[in-house]
Amino acid sequence: MLSIPVILLLLPIQTSSSIAPGGSLTPTEITQAEQLILDMAPQSPRLPSMQEITINISEINILTRYLLELTNFSTDWDIRFSQRENVINASSSWQLVSGWMPIYLNLRGEFKIQDNKFSLEGIQVGGLYLPKRLANLFWEAMQNNLTKPNIVFTEITKIITNIRSINVEETEISAQVIWDPVLVGTISDKAQQFLISPEDRERIVNYYLSINEIITVIPTDTRAISLNALLNPLFESARKKSEQNENPIAENRTLFQTLAIYVNNENIENLVGEDLAKDLPHPKFIEVRLLRRQDLAQHLISMAAITASIGSDLAQLVSTTKEAYDARYRSGFSFSDLTANNVGVAMGSIATESIASAIEMQHRLANVQSESDYMPLIGNNRDGITEPDFTSIYNDRSSLEYQKRLTEIQEMIKSRPLFQDL
Check pLDDT > 70 for residue 61: yes
- Position 2 scores a pLDDT of 59
Q: What is the pLDDT of residue 164?
A: 78
Supply the pLDDT for residue 70.
Answer: 77
What is residue 235's predicted lDDT score, i.e. its pLDDT? 98
Q: What is the DSSP string of 78-95?
A: EEEEEEETTEEEEEEEEE
Q: How confident is the model at residue 7 (pLDDT cuts 50, 70, 90)?
A: low
Domain limits of the chain? Answer: 4-179, 196-419
pLDDT over 60 (residue 152): no
Dist. CA 301–CA 341, nearest whole Å: 8
Mean pLDDT of the 17-44 span: 82
Least-confidence region, from 53-57, 324-328, 343-347? 324-328
Amino acid 6: pLDDT: 53
The answer to whether 315 touches 345, Cβ cutoff 8 Å, is: yes
Rounded Cα–Cα distance for residues 135 and 347 (Å): 48
Q: What is d(CA 195, CA 197) in angstroms, rounded to the nearest whole number? A: 6
In this prediction, residue 312 has a pLDDT band, given cuts at 50, 70 and 90, of: confident
Q: In percent, how much of the chain has pLDDT > 70?
A: 90
Chain centroid to Cα 150, Å, comes to 19
Dump pLDDT digits (tens) for 365-387.
999 999 999 999 876 667 788 88
pLDDT of residue 205: 96
More confident residue, 387 or 159: 387
First CA to last CA distance, the chain:
64
Given a cut of 70, whether residue 149 has pLDDT beyond it is no
Q: How far is CA 337 from CA 148, 191, 205, in A?
A: 41, 26, 29
State which of 37-41, 259-263, 394-398 shows the largest mean pLDDT: 259-263
Residue 283 DSSP label:
P
Does residue 347 register a pLDDT over 90? yes
pLDDT number for residue 35: 85
pLDDT higher than threshold 60 for residue 101: yes
The single-letter code of the amino acid at 418 is: L
pLDDT at 146 over 70: no
Average of per-residue pLDDT across 207-211: 97
pLDDT digits (tens, 9 = 90+) for 268-294: 998 898 888 998 999 999 999 999 999
Cβ 162 vs Cβ 180: under 8 Å: yes
Per-residue confidence band for 165, with pLDDT thresholds at 50, 70 and 90:
confident
pLDDT at 8 over 60: no
Q: Is 327:390 a contact under the CB 8 Å cutoff?
A: yes
Distances in Å between the Cα of 19 and the Cα atoms of 72, 77, 79, 104, 311 are: 18, 10, 8, 11, 28
Please answer whether residues 123 and 33 qualify as being in contact, where contact means their C-beta atoms are separated by less than 8 angstroms: no
Confidence band for 88, pLDDT divided at 50, 70 and 90? confident
Average pLDDT, the chain: 85
Among candidate residues 190, 209, 317, 203, the one with its CA nearest the CA of residue 253: 203
- Decide: helix, strand or coil at residue 315: helix
pLDDT at 74 over 80: no
- Cβ proximity of 102 and 16 under 8 Å: yes
pLDDT over 90 at 305, yes or no: yes
The DSSP H or E segment spanning 74 is none
270/226: higher pLDDT: 226
Sign of CA pseudo-dihedral 241, 202, 234, 377: positive
Cα–Cα distance between 410 and 260 in angstroms, integer? 23
pLDDT at 95: 85
Identity at 47, one-letter amino acid code: L
Residues 6 or more apart in contact with residue 386 via CB below 8 angstroms: 327, 332, 333
Residue 187's pLDDT is what?
Answer: 67
When pLDDT is averaged across residues 69-85 and rounded to a whole number, the result is: 81
What's the average model confidence in pLDDT over 304-317?
A: 86
